[in-house]
Structure formats: structure tokens, C-alpha cells
Amino acid sequence: MKPVILLVDDEDTIRMFLEKTIKDEGYEALTAANGEQALELTRSELPDLILLDLKLPDMNGIEVLTQIKEDLPEACVIMLTAFGDIETAVSAIKKGAFDFVSKPVNLEQLLLAIEKGLNSQKLSRELFQLRRRVKIDFDDKYIPGESPKMKEIYDIVKTVAKSDTTTVLIQGESGTGKEIIANMIHKYSPRHDKPFLDINCASLPEELLESELFGHEKGAFTDAKNQKVGLLELANKGTLFLDEIGEMSLTIQVKLLRVLEKMSFRRVGGTKDIHVSVRIISATNRDLETEVANRNFREDLYYRLKVIPINIPPLRERKEEIFILLKHFISIYNKKFNKDFRDIDDTAYEVLMAYPWPGNIRELKNVIERIVLLEEDNILKLEHLPESIRSDGPEVTKRSIAGKIELLLSRPFSEEGIPFEDIIRGVEKELIDKAMSESDNNQSKASRILRLNRDKLRYRLKNFEQNIEE
């Protein structure tokens, strides 16, 4: 995928000339004639690098730079400054610009600055490219996955968000991102400007959970010295997210069912019905069908909650997403801890891909946070990984050529390229070794298995032997 460069300059001749130069160098070019257009294109197209003129008709370049850095802190911006305007250029560097180039532009100097800028932003560029490829309009907090299952889930999210009353039940293992899905539904629903409140049903005993949800009247119980408004009331016209709803007691389940049926309830100790309009989104890591069968969860409530069921697969079943998550979390913690991790060592990447991630995305996030915080490097290496993950390393190094190809295809090719001929030879050797093994080293049988002329098989076997001897 070609690097995308956004050129921002209000002078038509300069903009057209630089656009042609950029395209001739093999880059993809976007152009904007003012600051507002630049900000809009930055948000929608996620350019890998921005060439930004200081003098624009609607706002100055420093203002545009400041806004770009607020929206996309990792964006690489090179300022185009008038000759001798060094003071403003230095100010731009302090505000996050990567470099500046004086006008009239020296093309050699500009192209060198672009090359350096793109190289310095390698990790961010790969992340931008993945985001552009998926083309889902969620913001930075919600990085969409590339697996077919997650794309299907995001389609459901966008559809169900349009209805602001339908209940949704999100099921999946701990750490798979159930709360993020709930936030998405609220964010893109007609209720987005109203409250989004959440509570973990497993974190409170029954009495406290009931009080938190429904509120209580003064004197309802010993410690009820004042009236308390519950979350259902506070979330009126908004969304209430009930996490770990499988832990909710049967007593509270009955009261929640009434809320779903009539959109009304009474505070603990109250006699007055309170009417609300609340969208209920719930989540659990339990199998609620089994809980219903075991009479730990009410069947009628279960069907009320799961009008739209969303099942999030564990990370081990969508490993094609590990790369984008790695890049995303490295980018986040680079900014948070002022670090400069730019890439992942191949061996470390293979180990990370082989690991089953029992804690799912949350575990991956915690591992990257720890590494970026503690390690002083710009490449994530095998020795940076926790022992519990690194212990798989020796087996990974023995991975078959098919496994290595799978890993190779799971992320963008590196700028250094790939050893194509070695890979093809490796594939040939593994196929021939397997055929020879299954035919007890009988070349005639092996050639039939491979549908390969016997002389061609002998030729390849001889080549393999020579390579071993060399």
C-alpha cells in the first residue's frame, strides 16, 4: 500500500506542482487549500504524512498543526515555511511537527524530509493503513478487527445502534471487549448525547446491587439516611450497561424483568412507580443457556435480554487481529510513556501469534503496556516478553514453512521485503519430504502423490542434497 501524503497549501501552482512531484515519487497524494479541508481530510483519510503550509486563508498553520495533533497525536507533519521564518518553524517543532522545509521548496530537501518522516512513523503508518483498509468510521478507541467474524459484529453494531430501544446481550470470554461493543452501540445510537452508565453485577452483594440499580427511599433500611437515585433513573433517555449479568440474583432478575416489560420500577422502600426510557445492554462470560437449564437464570429474562445476541469470539480464534492490536497498543503507550517502539522483531511476533491469550485483548494490552513502560528500545524483542509467553519460543522457531507463510500473510510486508525464493524452496522441500515419508522413500510413489514427473522429483531431491552439503 502506497504511503498517503496530504499536501496543504493555498497557492494553486505550488499545490499542483508538489502534488505531481509526490505522485512521481510513488506516493499517493491528497490536497487541501485551507485549514478546514486539511482537518477534514486528516480525520477521514488518515494520511501517513502531512505537508502543511504556515500561511493559510482561514487559519494559520500552527493552529491547524495543534488541532491535528489533538485528533491524531501520532500524525507526522512537516511544515512549509517562508524563507527566514525560523522562529515560527521552531515553534511548530515544539508543538509536535516532525520537521520543516523552507519555501521556495528545494525538492531534494523536501523528498529527504518526507523519507525520514515516513521511516520515523513506520509503526503509525502500518496502523493507519490497516484502519484505512477496514474503512469503518469508529474512532481511535474502537479499533476494528479484520476477521470475518468481527466485521460481521461491527455490521450488527451499526445496524442495531439505529434502534434506540432494542435490548442487546453480548456474550464472550473475559477480556474480549464486551464493554467496548456496548459503548459503540450507545455512541452510534440516537441516545448518544444522553448518559451511558454501567455497573458490574458481580462486584456488589445483592442488597447493594439492588440499591445501585433502583435507588432507595430515606429510611428504607438501617443505613438509608437519605434518598438515593438509582442508575436506572440516572440513565433515563440513555443506555444502561449491565456487565456480568449472569451473576445477578434471581430476586433482582424478577425486578429487572419488570423494567424491561413496563419501563417502570420502584425505589427500594418506595411506593411510587417511576417511569423511564432506558436501553438495556447486558454482557456475560457465562453460558446463559446452561444457567437457564440449571435454574440459575430466569428463562423469561434471558429471552428479553437477547433480542439481539452478539457473541464475541476469543482472541485465539481471530489471530489475524493480533497484529493490528499490537500496533494499536504500542502506539498508545509510546505516547503515554514518551517511548519510541517502532516495530516488532520477527521471533517475538511469532511467539505472540502462537500464544493462546487466555486473557484475550485485555491480557495483550497489559503485556504491551508493561513492555513499553519498562524496556528502553525501539524494537519489541523476544526477551521483552513475559516468561509465561516466551516459554513457547523454542517450539515457534520450529514452525513449519506453512506456519511461517501464515504469519507472513497476517501483517503487511516489511519495507525490507521478503525472501521469496527461499520461501518457495521451503514449500517444495516440505511437500516432497512429506510425500517421500508417506511412500517409504519410494520415488515412484512420491512422484504420483505429488503429480510430478519422476525426473523432476529426482532433480529437486538432488538439489536439496547439494544445499545440505554446501
Of the ranges 152-161, 286-295, 352-361, 454-463, which one carries the lowest mean pLDDT score?
A: 454-463
Nearest to 109 by CA among 85, 81, 90: 81
Are both 4-120 and 148-312 of the same fold?
yes
CA distance 250 to 240: 19
Greater confidence, 144 or 230?
230
Nearest to 201 by CA among 269, 275, 253: 253
pTM for this entry: 0.60
CATH fold of 148-312: Rossmann fold (3.40.50)
Mean pLDDT for the chain overall: 85
Nearest to 4 by CA among 106, 130, 137: 130
Most confident region among 79-93, 106-120, 390-404 by mean pLDDT: 106-120
State the DSSP string of 109-135: HHHHHHHHHHHHTHHHHHHHHHHHHH-
Greater confidence, 77 or 390?
77
pLDDT at 139: 43
Of the ranges 35-49, 50-64, 71-85, 293-307, which one carries the lowest mean pLDDT score?
A: 71-85
**pLDDT score of 135 more than 60:** no
The class of domain 420-469 in CATH terms is mainly alpha
CATH fold of 317-409: Helicase, Ruva Protein; domain 3 (1.10.8)
Q: Model confidence at 144, in pLDDT bands (50, 70, 90)?
A: low
Grid cell for residue 332: 498508545
CA distance 140 to 71: 9
> Residue 105 carries which DSSP code?
P
Most confident region among 74-88, 89-103, 392-406 by mean pLDDT: 89-103
Domain spanning 4-120: CATH superfamily: Response regulator (3.40.50.2300)
CA distance 265 to 242: 17
Instruction: List pLDDT tens digits, range 109-118.
Output: 999 999 888 8
Distance of CA 358 to the CA centre of its chain: 18
How large a percentage of the chain has pLDDT more than 70? 87
Angle at 177 between CA 175 and CA 181, to 5 degrees: 160
Q: Model confidence at 336, in pLDDT bands (50, 70, 90)?
A: confident
Instruction: List pLDDT tens digits, range 252-283.
Output: 999 999 999 999 999 988 889 999 999 999 99
Q: Where in the chain are the domains?
A: 4-120, 148-312, 317-409, 420-469
